A and B are shown apart, each in its own frame.
Chain A
Amino acid sequence: MKWEFKNGVPIYLQIITVLKRKIASGEMPPGSKVSPVRDLAMEAGVNPNTMQRALTQLEQEGLLYTLRTAGRYVTEDEQILKKMRESLSSGYIEDMFDALRELGMSREEIVEAVGAFGREQ
């Protein structure tokens, strides 16, 4: 997954989203070891302090945990992972709703269109 950053949003918040997507998609599977801060910072092309800040917040959310000497790992707690996936997906749904409302669609029309799309898949 490529690291692309939007204007006007703090980089560390965008890093958090990218890392959550990596966890959700299995690129960073539960229980796996997280790369060192410097390596991640290089990969993303961001400041190591910024990367550290993002990782610290993910730790506070319980998605990552640190073993004192062995480094940082992705949680295996299914509850926490489920909550993360839900919040990611509601974010996408919200974006989609906003975009479709801008096109002048009503709530019902959007629900109908999404349902129709889902049935065709």
Chain B
Amino acid sequence: MAAITCSNLTKKFGKTTALDHIDLELEPGRIIGLAGPNGSGKTTLIKLAQHMLVPTEGEILIDGKAPGPETKAHLAYLPDRDFLPDWMKIDGLVKLYGGFYEDFSRETAEQMLTNLDIDKNMVFKKMSKGTREKVQLILTMSRKADVYLLDEPIAGVDPAARDYIIRTIISNYNPEALVLISTHLISDIENVLDEVIFLKSGTIVLHENTDDLRTRMNKSVDEYFREVFRC
């Protein structure tokens, strides 16, 4: 069964159509890039999967079920902005996640915090933007979820941490799980992607295997992306 299925999925905000009749099937065991310029509908799609938004028309299913408390228990979501209680220490946040999510592994989280030299006694809001992003990603990836939705996970971190994060995604890779990564920085992650989706003004202009795309276009996914979305 597909991990995420969208049929005729549409989301409007007033007169603005953020997603326009999208059909999509995303299989488990794949790392998939969701690429598109700002305002193309990436975050809207992720929020619909996370049940933070409700479709205007059509439907989205997670493992064949409508989004709700049951699907959210198996879905790890990394928003594109800070979302944690920022007065807490990292230590406390790890405990909070452990209490909140049954599939959360404290050992995994603590190992990753150590690897990235993050002080567990620091208060979240006193950390730099990049470090906060790392902490949020670590907490998200320390869950054993069926679906990971990562909204711009690498936008604000330095190149060394970016490499570490990419390796984290690979090393936590679970053959049964779907990892959906939204980004406009394709070159950083294209070697990790099985498939890529191009979103443009709320519609899907491309959904293809990355290696097939590279062969067909005789260029990198990043180069092709820049061509499709040239301003």
Residues of chain A at the chain B interface (Cβ within 8 Å): 5, 7-12, 38, 41-42, 44-50
Taken together as a complex, chains A and B put the C-alpha atoms of A46 and B30 apart, in Å, by 12
Taken together as a complex, chains A and B put the C-alpha atoms of A49 and B217 apart, in Å, by 21
Question: Are B214 and A7 in touch, CB under 8 angstroms?
Answer: yes
How many Å from the CB of B221 to the closest CB on chain A?
A: 9
Question: Are B220 and A47 in touch, CB under 8 angstroms?
Answer: no
How many Å from the CB of A47 to the closest CB on chain B?
A: 5
Closest to A49 in B: B194
Residues of chain B at interface, number, CB under 8 A: 24
- Which chain A residues lie closer than 8 Å to B210 at the CB level? 11
Which of B171, B173, B194, B220 contacts A7 (CB under 8 A)? Answer: B220
Question: Are A11 and B167 in touch, CB under 8 angstroms?
Answer: no
Which DSSP category, helix, strand, loop or mixed, fits chain B's interface? helix
- Interface presence of B170 (CB below 8 A): yes
Task: Decide: A8 near B214, CB < 8 A? Known: A47-B31, A47-B193, A49-B194.
Answer: yes
- Which chain B residues lie closer than 8 Å to A45 at the CB level? 163, 166-167, 170, 191-192
- Interface presence of B218 (CB below 8 A): yes
Taken together as a complex, chains A and B put the C-alpha atoms of A46 and B211 apart, in Å, by 12
- Which chain A residues lie closer than 8 Å to B29 at the CB level? 49
The 23 sampled A-B contact pairs (Cβ below 8 Å) are A5-B191, A7-B219, A7-B220, A8-B214, A8-B215, A8-B217, A8-B218, A8-B220, A8-B223, A9-B215, A10-B211, A10-B212, A12-B211, A42-B167, A42-B170, A44-B191, A45-B166, A45-B167, A46-B191, A47-B31, A49-B30, A50-B191, A50-B194
How many Å from the CB of B29 to the closest CB on chain A?
A: 7
Question: Are B191 and A47 in touch, CB under 8 angstroms?
Answer: yes
Taken together as a complex, chains A and B put the C-alpha atoms of A12 and B167 apart, in Å, by 18
How many Å from the CB of A118 to the closest CB on chain B?
A: 34
Taken together as a complex, chains A and B put the C-alpha atoms of A42 and B193 apart, in Å, by 13
- Which chain B residues lie closer than 8 Å to A5 at the CB level? 191
Task: Decide: A9 near B173, CB < 8 A? Known: A45-B191, A47-B193.
Answer: no
3 tightest Cβ-Cβ pairs between the two chains A and B = A7-B220, A10-B211, A8-B218
Closest to B209 in A: A10
Chain B 188-230 interface 0/1 with A at a Cβ cutoff of 8 Å (1 = within): 0001111000000000000000111011011110110000000
- Which chain A residues lie closer than 8 Å to B163 at the CB level? 45
Closest to B222 in A: A7
Taken together as a complex, chains A and B put the C-alpha atoms of A49 and B171 apart, in Å, by 12
How many Å from the CB of B87 to the closest CB on chain A?
A: 35
